[in-house]
Chains A and B, each alone.
Chain A
Amino acid sequence: MNELLVSVSPHIRDGATTRGIMRDVIIALAPAAAASVIIFGARAALVVAFCAVACPLLEAAYEKALGRKATAGDLSACVTGVLLAFNLPVGIPLWKAFVGCAAAIILVKQLFGGLGKNFANPAITARIVMLLAFPAAMAAWACGGGLFGETYDAVTGATPLTMIAQGNTGALPPLSAMLLGVRGGCLGETSAVALALGGVYLLARRVITWHAPAAFILTVFVFSALLGRDPVYQVLSGGLLLGAIFMATDYVTTPQTAAGRLVFGLGAGLITVIIRAYGSYPEGVSFSILLMNILTPYIGRLTAKKAFGGADA
């Protein structure tokens, strides 16, 4: 008989794996990806595919160069790529997208030690880097180009948020267009319906919990209304749904407890509304999530779960 294996309990594990979770996230992103192609045309597919491939390749190359274990198989880099693409305008030159991918994977993720060690969301941070590096290209909103043709104000290509910021509310797309996503914006952020579909899938698969997205969206809704802005448009505009459903639920850079996640959503919501209302950028979701990422360790400490029967420490 061969040697018996001695290991510490438990001796059985459930079927969840990191790769399986990432696969679920990619599936959940698919409706929004499809919507982006319908709304913005085939180039959207090109940008998404480019980033989805570039990120894992960059990760593999970096790990190879440093002689580290290859981890691209866990699909997390692929998720980062898709999320980054979703945060770019459809016309972004591919080399600029590549710079963004490199920022996400090398700068934010690998330099901090790889998956699980980065404190900031790679896709969000890369987007902010690109906003600073390529301000013009990042604001070149195309609108239409897909099945719906050049429906809304393709010339200026303003997003609803810029219109609101400019006081040009008369030009806002109708609510139905906002829900479907036929409006100016980053390529993956516009279709509320598609994003919500992905969110429901993630909830059903228990990949995410409702806490952070619900707190985030609700805070923006209520706080916008208090400031006298149309709360529905505020929720449907910009990258709010994309950020709330897919970025404020990123495991690594958000708290682990229900209470922590509520605080995270609340904080991100408040910062978003403040930037939108008073900041020089019309959009605040990326900054708010990044700021909350930075605060996450502190939130984690303040909202640490109370042990069952535990005495106060």
Chain B
Amino acid sequence: MRKLGGVRAPHRKGTAASAPERIPIPPEVRLPMSMHIGAPAKPVVKAGDAVKVGQLIGEASGFVSSPVHASVSGKVKRVDEYDAVTGLGALSVVIESDGEQTPHDGLRAPEVNDMKSFLGAVRESGVVGLGGAGFPTAVKLTVKDISAVDYILINGAECEPYITSDTRTMLDETELLEEGALLLGKYLGVKNIVFGVESNKPEPISRLAEFTSRRDGMEVRTLPAMYPQGGEKVLIYQITGRRVPEGKLPLDVGVVVLNCTTLTAIVKYIKTGMPLVSKCVTVDGSAVVKPGNVVAPIGAPLSSLFEFCGGLKGDVKKVLMGGPMMGIAAPSLDMPVLKATNAALAFSEKDARLPEETPCIRCGRCVSHCPMGLMPLEFERAYRLKKPELLERYKVNLCMECGCCAYSCPAKRMLVQYIKLSKIMLRERQAADKAAAERKEAAV
């Protein structure tokens, strides 16, 4: 078996014992129509409309898309284009909350009795990959030939430092996970359902084992506490020994991976009819006064989460949505909690400071730590030489941007930044090549 790279990042799971508390409903929430990968949802409300919790406000527009529901009751203040700093772009619906949290009258537990109705329910629940990826879950589960799938992996690795929201799911919603696993087995007919959890979470592991040991085809697998065990291809390899080939999906090797909180969100919808409208978020970081887990309505500004956790102290310099390895730096505290937001981290000046970049010494650390077996230093070189063909040869497309390379680089090269730029350069080259080929064809 190939030993995949990775890094022993610090765990910093200080909030693991903090049971999530609901934050007070903020006066205003902002729900972007594009909280998922794929086509943005289409707003079905307009300014002035009254909405209630769970009401559809944006409908899925196409197959790879996901609906959006109101997370608070109140009045739609406006539907506007959101500042695209973070690439959220598209439209978003701003709701002024009335503080009542009145549930929408139309909410009813969906009737689920076969695969089709099960998938329909997943689609309507608005659930997307809650581990951070945000890929519409219904799309992931809609498989041409489900009989070719023999493994569903429930991802509870939670390998990012700081984040403990999935840990809380596994501890606080163990029954929902059991129900979810049974539903998956029943409606998708998949034989093996395996939970993957890193060894630094013994409590969730034993909790899950309580029911998996009683159930046929269910199992908890302890993974080494080495980032990034939760990366999809890494997880699949560690548990099933299968490699997802280049350009293929987990499905092609008979595997579907779902994040554990994604699964409980589906179960909640199927049981109550309440779609995904709130989210457990870990609030932590050196600038947070009282770190802990919170449950926040989707669309709540990050500032409301920090306020609930005692506010921010000192010189706040960086705020992250997600973990420190792959999270996105928020340009402002007004950024809303998205469906896939699992952490809001705030850091003081000292921890936010960017280390100085020094010349690459070709030490090979980025190579030996890359879980995908890539040569990150060559990406930077090819990018600087403006040679997309080298990027292609070194397979920049296989990079999952996990950050292990930049994390371990002694020269502090900003490798992931160069990789992102490299991917754009390669795409542009491919588009130009295609256009040229078409022109040539047209000329003939």
- The interface of chain A, by Cβ under 8 A from chain B, is 1-2, 4-14, 16-18, 20-21, 71, 74, 76, 114-117, 251-252, 255-258, 304-311, 313
Contact = CB atoms under 8 A, between A and B. Distances in A.
A16 B408 contact: yes
Nearest to A253: B362
Contacts of B4: 308
B408 A251 contact: no
B184 interface: no
Given A4-B316, A10-B406, A18-B361, A307 B395 contact: yes
Contacts, number: 162
Task: Across the A-B interface, give the 5 residue pairs with the lowest CB-CB distance, nearest first.
Answer: A10-B403, A256-B364, A8-B417, A116-B359, A16-B410
B403 A9 contact: yes
A85 B420 CA distance: 44
- A7, A12, A17, A311 — most chain B CB neighbours (10 Å): A12
Nearest to A114: B359
Given A4-B316, A5-B352, A10-B403, 14 more contacts: A4-B333, A8-B416, A11-B325, A11-B327, A11-B329, A11-B352, A12-B9, A14-B9, A16-B408, A71-B359, A257-B375, A258-B368, A308-B4, A308-B398
Among A2, A11, A310, max chain B CB count under 10 A is at: A11
Contacts of A251: 361-364
B416 A9 contact: yes
A7 B368 CA distance: 25
Interface string B217-237: 000000000000000010001
Contacts of A308: 2, 4, 233, 237, 243, 371-373, 398
Contact of A1 (B316, B352, B354): B316
Contacts of A9: 324-329, 401, 403, 406, 416
Nearest to A3: B317
Contacts of B358: 17-18, 71, 74, 115
A305 B318 contact: no
A57 B294 CA distance: 57
B202 interface: no
Nearest to A17: B410
Contacts of B406: 9-10, 13
18 contacts: A5-B317, A5-B318, A5-B354, A7-B417, A8-B420, A10-B403, A10-B416, A12-B407, A14-B7, A14-B9, A76-B361, A115-B361, A116-B411, A117-B359, A257-B375, A309-B243, A309-B372, A313-B392
Interface in B401-444: 401, 403, 406-412, 414, 416-417, 420
Contacts of B331: 4, 6
Interface in B2-28: 2, 4, 7, 9-10
Nearest to B369: A14
Interface residues of B, number: 70
Interface of B: 2, 4, 7, 9-10, 85, 161, 233, 237, 243-248, 315-320, 324-333, 347, 352, 354-355, 358-365, 367-368, 371-375, 377-378, 392-395, 398, 401, 403, 406-412, 414, 416-417, 420
A306 B328 CA distance: 30
Most-contacted residue by chain A among B329, B359, B420 (CB, 10 A): B359
A74 B9 CA distance: 25
B364 A4 contact: no
A212 to B, nearest CB: 11
A12 B12 CA distance: 12
Contact of A307 (B362, B373, B416): B373
Contact of A8 (B161, B245, B367, B414): B414
A94 B168 CA distance: 68
Contacts of A305: 367, 373-375
B429 to A, nearest CB: 16
A310 B374 CA distance: 9
Contacts of B393: 313
Given A11-B318, A14-B408, A309 B398 contact: yes
A7 B324 CA distance: 11
Contacts of B319: 4
A20 B374 contact: no
A181 B204 CA distance: 58
B381 to A, nearest CB: 10
B360 A12 contact: no
A115 to B, nearest CB: 5
Contacts of A307: 246, 372-374, 395, 398
B363 A306 contact: no
Contact of B412 (A8, A17, A256): A17
